[in-house]
Amino acid sequence: MGFFLETLFGGLMAGMLYALVAIGFVLIFKASGVFNFSQGAMVLFAALAMARFSEWIPGWLGFNSMLLTNLLAFMIAVVIMIGVAWLIERLALRKLVNQDGITLLMATLGISYFMDGAGQLLFGSATYKIDVGMPKDPMIVLENLFDGGLLLSKEDLYAAGIAAILVGLLSLFFQKTATGRALRAVADDHQAAQSIGIPLSRIWVVVWSLGGIVALVAGVIWGSKLGVQFSISLVALKAFPVVILGGLTSIPGAILGGLIIGVGEKLSEIYLGPLVGGGIENWFAYVLALAFLLVRPQGLFGDKIIDRV
């Protein structure tokens, strides 16, 4: 029982990180109708910026404080991601307003390759580390209930807590602020929102900036766990089946979808892997997403598909 709970907990922690990347997809799709294929590249680009500025700032300013260095590096990375959002809206999206969805999808695919190349050109292609002070040592809990207790990762706990806080802040932003309500209006109907004076271009910059900040947080967490390397953009691909499972327009769906996939892939790898030769963790999410596409293509919390004739 204790081993099962450890596996379950590990799946929940991984699922929170998948959900964090998936939220970036949902934010951009809700406000612009664009399935942002470049979200994984944004995660990598933001993580590279954070890692490299964390290395450069002490030499530039003579800081010895890791906290101050990381704070400055994070703020610089936020400014960079907002600048990226402005450039994307200015140079790509503004010229593709009211185009077919496939046109916008191909545009984000091009942005993805451009950002991969730009990240390598600006920040290098080696493996870099991000140290934001999250503890690496495991801890043992519930020793009185289970023989030997449960072995949990402190780093995973911190990461899940950060992800939960970010999700809560985004929910408050959408519900309580004028800009958040404008984003929801644009998500419901672009033309109606424009007709009442909501500037579509500004809204798109805001939502892509939010997507960039979410990508930065996800990149920092993944970079702290795995190191900043180009495989991070592949890890972010796990967010595709998450949004398919939860629904392209639902933040709660992204969270629940991430948790289901995180837990499902861990449990299936442990308990079914020996029966089929292993490797289930690599393809479980995509098979589950395919099954949902066949029986419920809008996902668990997506808008219902209504055909009118």
List the chain pLDDT tens, one digit each, 309 residues: 667 777 788 888 888 888 888 888 887 787 767 778 888 888 888 889 998 998 888 888 777 778 888 889 999 999 998 898 888 878 877 777 666 667 777 888 888 888 888 888 888 878 888 887 777 777 777 777 766 667 777 887 888 888 888 878 887 877 788 777 777 666 666 666 666 666 667 777 888 888 888 888 888 888 887 778 777 777 777 788 888 888 877 778 888 888 888 888 888 888 877 777 667 877 888 888 888 888 887 777 766 655 454
The pLDDT of residue 98 is 63
Predicted local distance difference test score (pLDDT) of residue 10: 80
Distance CA 123, CA 121 (A): 6
pLDDT for res 196 = 66
Domain segments of the chain as ranges: 2-229
| d(C-alpha 309, C-alpha 298), whole Å | 20
> CA nearest 39: which of 219, 262, 255?
219
pLDDT of 1: 66
Torsions phi, psi of 57, nearest 5?
A: -60, -45
pTM of the entire predicted model: 0.84
Q: Long-range contacts for 116-124 (Cβ within 8 Å, ≥24 apart)?
A: 116/41, 116/44, 116/45, 116/230, 116/233, 118/45, 119/41, 119/44, 119/45, 119/48, 120/230, 122/48, 123/48, 123/49, 123/51, 123/52, 124/48, 124/52
The Cα 198–Cα 176 span in angstroms is: 17
